[in-house]
Structure 1
């Protein structure tokens, strides 16, 4: 019992521990949401910002921040404008009551003029800075006139300065206020928005000038804290920018703070350079800058105070939660967090795309099934129905007025129906003639036999035309069903490939980027689409805009070693400017390559041959060789064979399986014309990853594989295309090897030799006697042998295609690096 109790108590303790951790995390999250709701959603952050901006001064006299801030809030979030006004007036009142009165007065003046002229404004955003600048300048002039009863040149200059600052600040606040008031933001920050945000934050901090805690200036602590945060997030460039802008704003507010700009700028540079050391490294950068600049600042007496201010800023920085810095970093270009956010967005888009493609695949599959179900009705039932209609039309014209109608169709229905059906079939098979035996039997049953024969002959033409039309409709439906099914399969495979990207190769992406960067080559981004053996697909963004072959000579060989297979550059896209980034696509190098040679001749040495040939580079590492021989010779045969290959090429390149592609081409050819025009097809599909080959022969002659001194014959039996609407495609598979010669030919070559009884043996012997393995030379020699055997005559169109299988030798050897696993 004790063991039972112990084993029971331990899990409960663990559960309580996890539950307490979960409760703490939930409480922190709830507190965070409460703060966001209070400051951002309810707008009380605007009160705090308004209070500090209301206290901010330029040149110890000007207050150009109040009206631009209120006007921007009024335009962006009008319902929160009263909160901003309260903060501004309270902040201005801490300087003087006159300052608060001036702030309230110019705000009321702005509201009055803006509301009156609002209905005439076409673009409020563009016109707002002008309104603010003019109203604040007028307000400053009115204030100066009331105080001194006159206007001096100095007053006009100060009013102009304040008006100009107000114009610029309005533009800045319009850019930066949405960044502080919108809780959810998905877009990254532009450079202008980052600068505007920095200026606004520095302006807000200038409102703390004069505040001290234990003789330490709050503005110094907060400005250094601001530099620490941005240096840690975005590096030296943004950190130094924050330091310069913040120091400049402070020096305008108080000339005594001018040296502080050097300290902040230097801190931003050092902190950014040491950001690899995380928060400690950035803090050390600020501390070193403080010691170096502090010695030349205000003498030795202030060094201790400056160091204490720096330590306070570092303390606040170390207390800053990771959630805050990571969240801000997502919106600043160039940060790892921003890159991860962009990749996350791209993966989400890929997921949505895969889902939509999969849905479309389902739609095409349902349509295919719908067309297929139309054929569920048995042909026999349909034929019986057609026969009933046929009988009705015949009896309506013959038996309806006959006196023996009751005798034939009421009393002897089965006998009469069977006899008339036999006559219809007999006339259908024998061009309208009836055999003597059936005629004698029918004469015994019918009193109007000649009338019946004539009527059946007339109706038979319509009956046959109707059957043929319905057959073509059925074939068309079947063709559409097969095509829809093929498209559905292609789209489904495409959706699966996109979803394979969702297998999240981000771990491998980081490993590849780290491995290449450790070698000393800087790359911006890695996108892995596939790591499947033999089908690797990787895209990189590299800073090689000048294109000296770095990708081909360095990065591809490194990837070859990392992934354990040969990787080559598939495509490079350079920018228009040399300094721009370059997008490079890396793919698996195929294990084999194919060299081809072709020889062809038209009948009697003509210009137009009825044969057509094609070598097709398909996706996924497949290579196709095809020969089509149109029936007969001349332009019509050439058109038929060429059309067959073009249709086949388009369908194969779409990704549809070979069998479905050939059946589709056959159906199109058989439905397209009523002429007796047929064409043969000889297709070889070679997989360049393992050199396996599939041969599909439709009415074509045998092919031959020469492997050393051995000759292998490839043969299959199928009728030419277009003869039958339905046929099964025989597929012959053969494993090719490096050095093999694949020889394909039309019947003009295979059956061309004169006085030869066994074409197979003759062709095998000629192939075996070949002393060259160059594809073009082999094709020319075979063509020459056949023509010579006929004393130089060409009795039929002739085409020979020869393909040589070779190992693919990479141009550049791999560069050794550590391995990266293909799967996480």
Structure 2
């Protein structure tokens, strides 16, 4: 039975888990649907390169120039190098359909490109040298051709430089547009430059169809008008007219007779884009009108009959284009509704993911807080009997182990021995020694080394107390961490909810506000309504001018009447760098406002007071008033109270709840110093929207609310901060009305008169006798009255803070416009 007083170590062996599953055979290969889809994708890209190469090989401009061949080959070499040979063969095949001479020129140019590219392979930053290599290959091939056929002439040199320079520019364009054809990106917003480059690529491909006729109708004209219709319908007038000009210009280079069509395509793109709100029919009608006007008033280079047939076929193809195709393309064109929806959807996904991550962190911190709380609870429930066993085992190791009667005491008389030693331990803990004479006699009769055991017990108690203190500090540290983690979890949970709030659609309200402002005689550029929730209104209006502060004098009163809530100007900034436009932000004002007055004095008229106070407006529509009184007077008390107020301000501004903030401050201050230096805290949280006030009093004296001639005291029984480790904060809630006075003070004011028996009744009578309701005057009069009552002596640090709650009165009354009568 002696084993109760000894510690035993139990050694355990850790087991191992062996994974007996056989290793995978890395040599096995299986055809997966993914690999098959990749093969199909590669086959599609091969067909696309063949088609593009064939058409660009036929693209001849200015009768005999081929500026698209080498640029296409160079870009394919750097983007899809494995398809370079296929692209070269397609280019040669396309040129061969024009003439054998063009095919020979294309072959020579391709060989020269490979030669120059091979010489440049060892250079770094290859992409910078692509246009130069294209320039050299195109120019060399053209000049060699001229030398063979016509010999040297400056005209040929100039033509060579023009073609080589044009090829270099086309290379830069293809570097922008060809990757858009092959790469598949989830988020691909096309810039305007990329759109133009893509149109140039399409127009270059159409150049390869020059000369193709179907029933005397030109294929390139049908395709060109169809493309203009698509872009005008998707991107509007700006994109449509741009596409028309670029397409017509490149087609006119291939055939001078097509110069007439540049005007037709540009005008049709502009007209179709302007009529896009009427859907496909209006855009098609725009092309038909453009064709008729150009045919009637043009130079009649082209038969109006055939031109009209080409237009009707293009319109028919446009009408047959599936809606999902145009919607898919619209997602990549900036300014379109589909693009905006796609961006909003992407932003919404990012927002939801971010909110989800924040919620996960919130749950993590909450779980950590619970785990620390569980550890603390487990530690508090630690067995007292086990602590006694451990303590007595250490005492017996130093005494009984060397005693010759240990077997008799701890085997035959175990219960008696254990009980007597436990009583001795309690006596030593309470009195520092054994003062019970009866216990001394019983122990002397029981033990032959009685004095030695008592001395060992006293010595061991000092170490035991130190150990207990360390354990208590550890428990307090866990409590502090748990409270902080819980507070952070709540802040992050609220933050996640704020992230998920998105701008609601308020088109009807925006139009009504715009109409009201315009009826008041002001020019308004834009109205954005972000929130119409009561007490949290958020509206942004761009005014053409705010020179005479029209936003505050006219717009805010108008909004107050429309929304039935007082609205004020929150922020004003210029809308543009040049011009008079002003962006004005309007928001809700609080129903109440606080005016405060403060009076304080240090003990004996000194400069340093042990009291500290603070008044602050928090972002959530709350107003906080706090007074802290450090124990004693002077610098040390001032540091303690100032530290309490500083911690409170920082924690409250972070969004952590008031009770959690006070508990955290209590834990921090109790852990920070082992000396008995405490401080009180008197906190009042005023809700400026509803008028409620919450009092959180920690060791502080009562506060008072004066309403007319009635005075009410508010008090709560909490010990000062730092005295006990586990504290419960009592919260008292009161309803304030406009004109009420809230009076908070330190004990130097409340307990100053020594001759007063009931300080509460005395303070109520003094406050009731005050005839003023000005906060500063009330504070000064209270301070003066208390000092007079104490014989003009300041026996303790004195602080009084007075706050008056008033309805917020805006500078400008609301404006109500007369309702328009229906005609």
TM-score (norm 1): 0.86
Report 1:275-314 matches (<5 A): 275-299=276-300, 302-314=303-315
Matches of 2:86 and 2:533, distance apart in 1: 59
Contact 1:137 1:162 in 2 (8 A): yes
Instruction: Say if 1:596 and 1:801, in contact at 8 Å, map to a contact too.
Output: yes
Equivalence for 1:666: 666
* Structure 2 gap ranges (5+): 1-35
Partner of 1:686: 686
Q: Could you tell me whether the CA contact under 8 Å between 1:546 and 1:579 is conserved in 2? A: no
Q: Which residue of 1 aligns with 2:214?
A: 213
Give yes or no for contact 2:546–2:581 (8 Å, CA) kept in 1: no
Say if 2:67 is the partner of 1:58. no
Question: 2:176: which partner in 1?
Answer: 175
Cα 1:776/1:242, change in 2 over 3 Å: farther
* Aligned-partner SS, 2:297: coil
The aligned residue for residue 15 of structure 2 is none
1:397-408 equivalences in 2 (<5 Å): 397-408=398-409
Assess, with a 3 A threshold, how the Cα gap between structure 1 residues 440 and 344 changes in structure 2: closer, same or farther.
same
Q: 1:141 to 1:326 in 2, by over 3 A?
A: same
Residues 84 and 492 of structure 1, relative CA distance in 2, 3 Å threshold: same
Tell me whether 604-613 or 296-305 shows the greater mean CA deviation: 296-305
Contact preservation (8 Å) 1:40, 1:182:
no
Equivalent runs, 1:355-434 vs 2, <5 Å: 355-377=356-378, 379=380, 381-434=382-435
In structure 1, list runs of 5 or more residues that go unmatched.
1-32, 819-824
Cα distance in 1 between the residues matched to 2:322 and 2:513: 32
By how many angstroms is 1:572 displaced? 6.1
Retained in 1: the 8 A contact 2:542–2:575? no
Q: Does 1:736 align with 2:736?
A: yes
Q: Structure 1 CA distance, aligned partners of 2:781 and 2:751?
A: 16
The aligned counterpart of 2:5 is: none
> What is the CA–CA distance in structure 2 between the aligned matches of 1:233 and 1:544, rounded to whole Å?
31
Check the 8 A contact 1:559/1:567 in 2, yes or no.
yes
Task: Identify the residue that residue 348 of structure 2 maps to in structure 1.
Answer: 347
Other-structure match for 2:640: 640
Q: Compared with structure 1, are the counterparts of its residues 524 and 237 closer, same or farther at alpha carbon in structure 2 (3 Å cutoff)?
A: farther
SS for the counterpart of 2:402 is coil
| Structure 1 residue 739 displacement after superposition | 2.4
Q: Cα deviation per residue 1:159-192 (whole Å; 9 max; x = unaligned)? A: 0000110110000000011112223341311232
SS in 2 for 1:748: helix
RMSD (Å) for aligned C-alpha atoms? 3.4
Query: Which position in structure 1 is the counterpart of 2:132?
Result: 130
Q: Deviations over 1:641-696 (max 9, x none)?
A: 11111212222222222212111111111111111111110111122231222110
Tell me, in whole angstroms, the C-alpha distance in 1 between the residues paired with 2:467 and 2:733.
Answer: 42
- Distance change in 2, residues 1:547/1:220 (3 Å): farther
CA 248–581 in structure 1, closer or farther in 2 if over 3 Å, else same: farther
- Distance in 2, matches of 1:466 and 1:531, equals 60
Q: Which is worse superposed, 731-740 or 647-656? A: 647-656
SS at match of 1:400: helix
Pick one of 94, 99, 103 that aligns with 1:100. Answer: 103
Moved more, 430-439 or 127-136: 430-439
Counterpart CA distance in 1 for 2:368 and 2:464 is 31
Give the match for residue 477 of structure 2: 476
Matches within 5 A, 1:535-546: 535=536
Structure 2 partner of 1:184: 185
Shift of 1:136: 0.3
**1:544-559 aligned within 5 A:** none
Please tell me whether the aligned partners of residues 515 and 817 of structure 1 are also in contact (alpha carbons under 8 angstroms).
Answer: no
Structure 1 residues 604 and 36, CA gap change in structure 2 (3 angstroms): farther
* Structure 2 CA distance for partners of 1:262 and 1:378, relative to 1, 3 Å: closer
- Alignment partner, residue 761 of structure 1: 761
**Distance (Å, rounded) in 1 between the aligned partners of 2:424 and 2:678:** 35
**DSSP 3-state at the match of 2:632:** coil
Deviations 1:750-793 (A, max 9, x none): 22356443332333233333344333333333223333433543
Cα distance, 1:719 vs structure 2: 1.0
Cα 1:537–1:801 change in 2 (3 A) is same
Indicate conservation of the 8 Å contact 2:616/2:625, yes or no.
Answer: yes
How big is each residue's C-alpha offset from its partner over 1:62-118, in whole Å with a ceiling of 9 and x where there is no partner?
110111112112211223334433432232222212112211221122123313421
Counterpart CA distance in 1 for 2:334 and 2:310 is 31
Q: Which residue of 1 aligns with 2:146?
A: 144
In structure 2, the CA distance between the partners of 1:652 and 1:447, relative to structure 1 (3 Å rule), is: same
The DSSP-based 3-state class of the residue aligned with 2:178 is helix
Distance in 2 between the 1:301 and 1:723 partners?
A: 101
Counterpart of 1:12 in structure 2 is none
* Distance change (3 Å), C-alpha of 1:279 and 1:65: same
Q: Distance in 1 between matches of 2:644 and 2:130?
A: 68
CA apart distance, 1:344: 0.9
Q: How high is the TM-score relative to the length of structure 2? A: 0.86
- After superposition, the Cα gap between the structure-2 partners of 1:551 and 1:764, relative to the gap in structure 1 and judged at 3 Å, is same
